[in-house]
A and B are shown apart, each in its own frame.
Chain A
Amino acid sequence: MLEVSLRHRFGGFALDVEFTAPARGVTAIFGPSGCGKTTILKAVAGLLRPDSGRVALDGTALLDTALLDTARRVALPAEQRRCGLVFQEARLFPHLSVESNLRYGMRRAPREADGPGFDEVVALLGIEGLLGRRPARLSGGERQRVALGRALLMRPRLLLMDEPLAALDAPRRAEILPFLARMRDAAAMPILYVTHALDEVDALADQMVLMDSGRVLASGGLEALTARTDLPLAARRDAGVLMTARIACHDVSRGLTRLAFPGGDFLVPLQAPPVGTRLRLRLRARDVAVALTRPEDVSVQNILRAVLREIAPTASPHEVFLHLAVGETVMLARVTRDSVARLGLVVGQEVWAMVKSVAFDHARLA
């Protein structure tokens, strides 16, 4: 487990954060530009010395300025922290070949350090054909893949990614995302992933630290955070719960796939992955409608029994969020206040939640 608590002031900006990240998987640090995300990564990596704070990995401090006993204070230099840092702009050494770049950190890793082998990483990232080239002769996406490999091969105890896709255009991002997901699954270590792109969070993260102007607004499991309506996430157009579902069966003749989630299932347009594959879906609140009685003659495929748990305000005075419990899964629906009044909705009431199949056009492999 990674524990981070940092306080730092520079100019008119104050950073004061505290969070933990699990021993495996991606913890996304998410927030608008300038909220201090990169500062956190730099302080964890040792490239920036915060005014005070503590960074500890599995109970061992990399940085600890808070102790009163000065002899026990710790501030490991960056070169001894073994944090694999992937920068936004790859930062490959231009005078070295791709292979020498990949081996740069590997050569300097302690002998006893364990990690994936050179060939394994090269295959994972699909960069076999690039080894002899100079970075100047790589495309942006290729560069970023080599940078990922370089960080993975240094035998890090921790991976830090500072908006690794931000400098790439949409096709290149789509090209790298699967590699990042494979890397996440291959790396048995905490990964901090700084981004301001929600689709990257959806695709990669398990945990999220939600930040704004130097503070942590909320942190925890991603799916739980997306179900909260008191966070800035809820103000986004694509606000809605993130859920994990399993492909239960395909009905090729009808062109539909049945996805099972805890508490129910969805019919969605036919999906390519085989039965049993886990998919991650963002169910946008504006794609969910409610009815008091089960409608029969509608095109909507998914009509689910739900209990109205809460009616929460939105940023708009004329709209509200409905928290709907479908079994153990909570969904959000965004409706007008007028609809609430018209249907006479009250908390605790049983309703029917309706979700169009085509709302799931953006399901991803989990």
Chain B
Amino acid sequence: MTLSPDEWQAVRLSMDVATRSVIVSLLPAIFIAWLLTRRRFAGRFLLDALVHLPLVVPPVVVGWGLLMLFGIQGPIGAPLHAWFGIRLVFTTEGAALATAVMSFPLIVRAVRLGLEQVDPGLEEAARTLGARPLDRFLTVTLPLMSPGILAGAVTAFAAGLGEFGAVITFASNIPGETQTLPLAIYTATQTPGGEGVAARLALISFSLAMGGLLLAELIARRMHLWLGRG
């Protein structure tokens, strides 16, 4: 099976967008997962709901929301454009942002699962041994929750390859810029004689997602073994 340059472009773009989305959302996801797991504060429930919103709201609505916020006229988009010359709508960065928002709950959930496996007693032990909060987090909590972080990143990457609704609404469907795999598949199905292209891209999409999930499982097992939880 050979792919045309245009099809390759869609594959590469999808990987690019998914990678960037994971990079953008990883640190905030770790922070929010830690907040939700280890801190009791007013508005915790609200934050939890907000993080999970993209799972239940139609992706198109998320895309529309981003358009309102980050559009050239939007309350965030306008200053970004005026001060830094950054434009997110109809760009690859925009597609990555939309993908990041959509896969954010997946990362947060996986990181939280990882964090819940960390015995707070070990953090207490680190405390009595003289480790200050950041030191404690970096040397004990973070390594012990790393399987969750990794699982979250790989799952979000695999899911990010296929984000459709939010991307097409916010970043549009521009070949080479924002036309990721699912958008290319959709375009192919709308084009007379595009069935072959659609089938090939669908197969690739499926393989990448499956490969990602298997890889995540494999790495998670390795890491649990490394942490002595075998």
Contact = CB atoms under 8 A, between A and B. Distances in A.
Interface of A: 45-47, 77-85, 87, 89, 91, 93-95, 104-105, 108-109, 134-137, 150, 154
Nearest to B119: A91
Given A89-B121, A91-B125, A93-B140, A109 B228 contact: no
A130 to B, nearest CB: 14
Given A78-B128, A79-B130, A105-B129, A136 B122 contact: no
B230 A95 contact: no
Interface of B: 119, 121-122, 124-132, 135-136, 139-140, 143-144, 226-230
A81 B127 CA distance: 10
Given A47-B128, A79-B127, A87 B228 contact: no
A82 B130 CA distance: 7
11 contacts: A46-B128, A79-B130, A85-B128, A94-B122, A95-B143, A95-B144, A95-B227, A105-B129, A108-B129, A108-B135, A135-B228
A177 to B, nearest CB: 23
Contacts, number: 66
Contacts of A150: 129
A78 B123 CA distance: 11
Nearest to B136: A79
A154 B228 contact: no
Contacts of A105: 129-130
A93 B118 CA distance: 10
Nearest to A135: B228
A108 B124 contact: no
A103 to B, nearest CB: 10
Nearest to B223: A95
Contact of B122 (A79, A91, A134): A91
Closest 7 A/B residue pairs (Cβ): A136-B228, A108-B130, A105-B129, A94-B228, A91-B125, A85-B128, A78-B127
A84 B130 CA distance: 10
A137 B128 contact: no
B128 A136 contact: no
B130 A154 contact: yes
A40 B131 CA distance: 22
Given A47-B124, A87-B121, A93-B122, A104 B129 contact: yes
Contacts of A78: 124, 127-128
B226 to A, nearest CB: 7
Contacts of B124: 47, 78, 91
Contacts of B125: 85, 87, 91, 93
